[in-house]
Amino acid sequence: MNDWPELGTSVELIVKTWSGEGSYTGISLPSPEPNLVTIKLNNGYNISFPKSYVKSFKILSNVSDKVELDEDKQIQDESLSLVYLIHTGGTIASKVDYKTGAVSATFEPNDLLNSIPEIKEIARIKVLKLGNMWSDDLRPRHWNKMLEASEKAFSDGAKGVVITHGTDTLHLSAAAMAYGWSGGGQRPPGRIVLTGSQRSPDRGSSDAAENIIASVMWAANGPPVSGHRDTSVVILHAESSDGKCAVLPGCASRKYHSSRRDSFKSINQDPLAYITIDNKEIMIKMSDFEPFEARFETSTPFLFDESIKIAEFISGPHLQPSLVESAVKLNFDALLFHGTGLGHLPIANPEEDSIENTKLKIILEDYCNNGGIAVVVAQAIKGPVNLDVYSKGRQQQKIGIIGHKSLCPPGSALVKLHYLLSQGKGREVVSNGWEENLVGENPSFTLD
């Protein structure tokens, strides 16, 4: 098939498979493998066939009428808002290796643009590639790279940025964008969206296209940023089916399902909005909530101290005092505990048969008395840390463990702790900051 038409050409394929012969009409797209042909169907889905299955094809549009898909060559509508697509990797930037069946992060940013040409009708797009990384490999240094990339985009006149990201740690990077831009009481010059997908773009069931379309729509045409819950937002499918995406506060979201397309939820607060996609009609519907007064605009984000080290522990029957003691001896800057229930740790020994609980209590007492920073968050998906209800919690407060009354989700809490430690490594800085509602992570608290 050396005469396969150029990208963006409207074609009709006659394909013969094991199930019979069929006709498919769409726009020619880049293919994930040399032996495949790929088109975007009229319903928005991409579909690929082995070249050997294609019995014939017919060009439906003249070459002069085809859509130019290369980002460096395409003619863009200058009347539209400029949106930067900042590419980090993840499933949204991956494709299936049809030899092994595994998914690899090999899609390039222009591959995304080429496969979703509809977004050029929403905004002018510029692409900035930071890498092709799985999100579980990202470190705080990559948060800083995203902050710096968004700063570059806004200085270039962008109204918004869309960061394509793996979903596994997307909520952490979204929180980092929120604290980095607004932790000190400011707001960024434009909108910041983080999006990803649960299925790679070359799969028929991919959620990538609608997630990107909705994200570009919000970045280009969303409401002005106040700097409270909306500094950064997470936009992904709101339901398992197509047609609706949720706009979630970047400071208070998390992935709650490993494989569903509607894998993200907002925690301890409602979504900011929903975006519906019905063919070419895209609409933003804001949720009902009291609007916040806009903070003052800043052009420069705060960057995280990349030397900070935080040790995380899960409270439970296997939380050993030796593990905590090791982190203390290795001079970690803080200890973060994911507590059970309302935020509890195994530090009581009522039956006198669990000496490790007593040891853990002594280690934490000595650590906090010497200025150490220990913070507890709730393992439960929703609800506050409340150390007043049980005597165990009151004992933890007496020891000096920080976290009482916080509604900040665990992922956002990790980033908040890193942000506060980057301000200054003293216990007082963290203790005071933990009680504040820096970016909307603590909805029960309000700043003056």
Stated pTM of the model: 0.81
With the C-alpha atoms ordered 287, 252, 83, 29, is the resulting torsion angle positive or negative? negative
φ/ψ of residue 432, rounded to 5:
-70, -40
Q: What is the pLDDT of residue 78?
A: 86
Q: Is the pLDDT of residue 285 over 80?
A: yes
User: What DSSP letter does each residue of 118-133 carry, written as one string?
Assistant: GGGGT-EEEEEE----
Taking alpha carbons only, the member of 348, 349, 408 closest to residue 380 is: 408
CATH code for the structural domain at 310-434: 3.40.50.40
The fraction of the chain above a pLDDT of 70, given in percent, is 87
Q: Which residues contact 328 (CB under 8 A, 6 or more apart)?
A: 335, 363, 367, 372
CA distances from 442 to 169, 404, 407, 435 (A): 20, 12, 5, 8
CB 163 within 8 A of CB 217: no
Given the candidates 3.30.70.270, 3.40.50.1170, 1.10.10.10, 3.30.200.210, the CATH classification of the domain at 82-297 is 3.40.50.1170
Q: What is the pLDDT of residue 181?
A: 98
Among 15-29, 132-146, 260-274, the range scoring the smallest mean pLDDT is 15-29
Q: What is the pLDDT of residue 330?
A: 98
- Each residue's pLDDT tens digit, 216-232: 999 999 999 999 999 99
Q: Is the pLDDT of residue 75 over 90?
A: no
Give the number of other Cβ atoms within 10 Å of residue 276's Cβ: 14
Q: Three-state DSSP class for 256?
A: coil
Pairing state between β 253-255 and 244-249: unpaired
| Domain formed by 10-65, architecture | Roll (2.30)
Q: Is the pLDDT of residue 71 over 50?
A: no
- Each residue's pLDDT tens digit, 400-436: 999 999 999 999 999 999 999 999 878 999 999 999 9
Task: Report the alpha-carbon distance of residue 171 to residue 167 in Å, rounded.
Answer: 8
Catalytic center residues: 91, 167-168, 255
- Each residue's pLDDT tens digit, 145-186: 999 999 999 999 999 999 999 889 999 999 999 999 999 999
Strands laid side by side in the 310-314 sheet = 310-314, 334-339, 374-378
Question: Hey, what are 364's tokens?
Answer: 């934490």
Give the number of other Cβ atoms within 10 Å of residue 142's Cβ: 20
Q: What is the pLDDT of residue 74?
A: 56
Domains 10-65 and 310-434 share a fold: no
E strand segments, 250-332 = 253-255, 264-266, 273-278, 281-286, 296-297, 310-314
Residue 252 DSSP one-character state? S
Pairing state between β 124-129 and 82-87: parallel
314-318, long-range: CB < 8 A, 24+ apart? 314/338, 314/379, 315/339, 315/340, 315/344, 315/345, 315/346, 315/376, 315/379, 316/340, 316/346, 317/346
Domain boundaries, the chain: 10-65, 82-297, 310-434
